[in-house]
Amino acid sequence: MEKATRQSTKEHNRNLVLKNVFEHETISRAEIARITHLTPTTVSDIVATLIEEGLVAEIGVGPSYGGKSPILLSLQENSRVLIGLDLAHNQFCGALVNLRGKIHQAISLPVDERSGDGALSLVYTILDRLIASASQPLLGIGVGTPGLVNTREGVVIHAVNLNWTDLPLTHLLEERYHIPVSVLNDSQAAAVGEYTYGKDHHSDENLVVINARHGLGAGLILHGTLFQGSGGSAGEIGHTVVIPEGGLPCRCGKHGCLETVASAQALIIQARAQAALHPTTQLPHDPEKMNLEVIEEAFAAGDPLAQQLVLATARFLGVAIANLVGVLNIEKIVLSGDMTRFGEPWLNMIREVMLKSSLTESAHGTQVEIGELGESSILLGASAILVKDYSLLFKDQPLDGERAIQMGRY
């Protein structure tokens, strides 16, 4: 056998074994051999390496079904860490995340209108601090950014708020930190996060995550894989036009996009304009004081204007989801982002309008729920992309793996 082929078979087998350890809380060597069809000797050899590397440990014995009781193996979830980054509108958030998506340490810094190089410097500041505080080997950095992203090339093609055009973010971060970096659109990262760490999703499942915050987008998981479309912009529902005539201007340059009527940004703009016309509303009349927190308070207190404005955003989302369900026949829709703060009343309006706006029976089988990860879904998803590349977990992997592991020891 050629050396290269032998090497790739070895790597393939190791990834296969590790995948099974990842997918089970505990598993025995015999069980891995049964699932993977590898020989018991091959599995034992690979497991020995994994134990030596500290990735896997023997944690006890399982029940015997005749014969010797099997020794149970388990992933050592704290043996490596990753960094996940969420470049949200008002603040950039970063965290050290373990192999099971548990956040060890998080940092949030306000953006304060920074854009271009200033925004990039803020990314460096957060990463510098997180890397300095990592006590376990660091595997890589995953970034969830707003805007259009070419994930394969690691380039942010266009992010309006950040004033980034054709920014080679992966290259810049790999040059600076010498570890693998993955850059993903924020809504797509939210989808990967909810799919990987949210409620029991099956490995072959279809899932759409609607990320409703300052901007609005969707992430599509089809048969367990992130679907990015031909140009990487699949799920950009925020910029589908829903008010073809007389709609408000959108930051993308068009008018009447879904984002101008259903996002947090749209809600705040509407609340500012309408509060001026409603003297009795609880909403602040000073436009400077209008934000999601005060709208949430007024909404919870039953303020009619706040109720009307919030539920109007839900109606538009309900129609948008009905359209998605009509095209994709998706059964699971998860809502994420800070608009989810409006809770059950907002969710119920979305469900009601979705059902009313759907022609097909399929919408009746569709579950629409609020995600479980809250604001962490994006940074968790951005880092989860790296965990799925099992080869990064091995020390003797060429490229930057070796350096990645050393970095974490500083």
If binding is defined by CB under 5 A, does position 160 make contact with Zn ion?
A: no
Contact letters (x/-) for Zn ion, 37-76, by CB under 5 A?
----------------------------------------
- Give least dist CB 219 to Zn ion, A: 18
Judged by CB, which is closer to Zn ion: 201, or 254? 254
Judged by CB, which is closer to Zn ion: 21, or 250? 250
Judged by CB, which is closer to Zn ion: 104, or 251? 251
Q: How far apart (Å, rounded) are the C-alpha atoms in residues 353 and 317?
A: 8
- Give least dist CB 250 to Zn ion, A: 3
Q: How far apart (Å, rounded) are the C-alpha atoms in residues 115 and 275?
A: 30
- Give least dist CB 252 to Zn ion, A: 3
- Give least dist CB 255 to Zn ion, A: 8
If binding is defined by CB under 5 A, does position 341 make contact with Zn ion?
A: no
Q: Identify which range of 115-123, 175-183, 185-193, 234-242 contacts Zn ion by CB under 5 A.
A: 234-242
Q: How far apart (Å, rounded) are the C-alpha atoms in residues 373 and 30?
A: 34
- Give least dist CB 35 to Zn ion, A: 46
- Give least dist CB 398 to Zn ion, A: 43
- Give least dist CB 186 to Zn ion, A: 16
Beta-bridge partners for 98: 81
Judged by CB, which is closer to Zn ion: 160, or 172? 160
- Give least dist CB 249 to Zn ion, A: 9
Q: How far apart (Å, rounded) are the C-alpha atoms in residues 174 and 170?
A: 6
Judged by CB, which is closer to Zn ion: 244, or 398? 244
Judged by CB, which is closer to Zn ion: 24, or 251? 251
User: Which residue's structure tokens are 């497991």?
Assistant: 47
Judged by CB, which is closer to Zn ion: 259, or 303? 259
Radius of gyration of the chain (CA): 23
> Would you give the distance in Å from CA 151 to the centre of its chain?
14
Judged by CB, which is closer to Zn ion: 114, or 254? 254
Judged by CB, which is closer to Zn ion: 29, or 239? 239
CA angle 110, 111, 113 (to 5 degrees): 135
Site for Zn ion in 117-146 (CB under 5 A): none
If binding is defined by CB under 5 A, does position 294 make contact with Zn ion?
A: no
Determine the straight-line distance between the first and last CA of the chain, rounded to whole angstroms. 40
**Total residues at interface with Zn ion (CB under 5 A):** 5
Helix axes 169-177, 116-133, angle to 10 degrees: 40
Among 29, 239, 315, 332, binds Zn ion (CB under 5 A): 239
If binding is defined by CB under 5 A, does position 106 make contact with Zn ion?
A: no
Site for Zn ion in 244-283 (CB under 5 A): 250, 252, 254, 257
- Give least dist CB 88 to Zn ion, A: 19
Question: Which residue ranges make up the site for Zn ion (CB under 5 A)?
Answer: 239, 250, 252, 254, 257
